[in-house]
Structure 1
Amino acid sequence: MSTKVTFWPSGVSVEVKPGTSILSAARKAGILIQTRCGGNAACFMCKVQIRPGSDLLPMADEERRKLAGLEQQGFRLACQAKARGDVQVDVPLDPLRAAVQKLLAKQAEENDDLW
């Protein structure tokens, strides 16, 4: 039996065994999720948002403490969240890529103003 994990905004899906972490599924799918602690719930960098209707194993106390209420908005730590069934994951842009995209959008807007 396998479950399907889909990563957004790319739309890339991967089949994994139930109990696989979202971080492991992302690596299998070629999706970059930043982590500094090696998947030990210590750095908070792998925070992702889980879409409603996704089927994950229950959250452990350590992850709940780390999220400090953000789990109520659908956030989980990719290194700790484990798929039970199909899962839909929103992966945030890494900070550098987000900054570059913001700068490019600003430059495009300024160029439009010149014409």
Structure 2
Amino acid sequence: MSTKVTFWPSGKAIEVKPGTSLLTAARKAGVLIQTRCGGNAACFMCKVQVRPGSDLMPIADDERRKLAGLDEQGCRLACQAKARGLVEVDVPLDPLRAAVQKLLAKQAEESDDLW
């Protein structure tokens, strides 16, 4: 038995064994999810948004405490959340990529203003 995890906005999907963490699934799919702690739920960098209807194993008390209520809004730590069935996850842009995209958009806007 396997489970399918799809990562957005890339749309990359991968089949994994039930119980595989979202972080492990992302790495196998070639999707970058930032982490500093090596997947020990210490850095909070791997926070992702799980889409409604996704089938994950129940959240552990440690992860729930670290998320401090964000789990009720669909946020999970990719290093701790384990897939059980079909799962869809929104992965935020890493901060450097987001800053570069913002700068490029601003430059394009300024360039348009010159014409």
Using the size of structure 2 for normalisation, the TM-score is 0.99
1:109 maps to 109
Q: Extract unaligned runs of 5+ from structure 2.
A: none
User: Per-residue deviation at 1:34?
Assistant: 0.4
Provide the C-alpha distance between the structure 2 equivalents of 1:23 and 1:35, rounded to a whole number of angstroms. 9
- Give the paired residue count: 115
Provide the C-alpha distance between the structure 1 equivalents of 2:61 and 2:73, rounded to a whole number of angstroms. 17
Deviations 1:12-39 (A, max 9, x none): 0000000000000000000010000000
- 1:15-30 matched pairs, under 5 angstroms: 15-30=15-30
For the residue of structure 2 that corresponds to 1:89, the secondary structure is strand
Letter aligned with residue 88 of structure 1:
E
- 1:34-49 matched pairs, under 5 angstroms: 34-49=34-49
Letter aligned with residue 76 of structure 1:
R
Provide the C-alpha distance between the structure 2 equivalents of 1:94 and 1:63, rounded to a whole number of angstroms. 21
Provide the C-alpha distance between the structure 2 equivalents of 1:76 and 1:83, rounded to a whole number of angstroms. 12
- 1:7-86 matched pairs, under 5 angstroms: 7-86=7-86
Provide the C-alpha distance between the structure 1 equivalents of 2:98 and 2:73, rounded to a whole number of angstroms. 21
Using the size of structure 1 for normalisation, the TM-score is 0.99
Q: Percent same amino acid at aligned positions? A: 86
Deviations 1:42-101 (A, max 9, x none): 000000000000000000011001100111110000000000101000000000000000
Provide the C-alpha distance between the structure 1 equivalents of 2:53 and 2:93, rounded to a whole number of angstroms. 23
For the residue of structure 1 that corresponds to 2:6, the secondary structure is strand
For the residue of structure 1 that corresponds to 2:98, the secondary structure is helix
Cα RMSD, aligned residues only: 0.4
Provide the C-alpha distance between the structure 2 equivalents of 1:86 and 1:20, rounded to a whole number of angstroms. 12
1:3 maps to 3
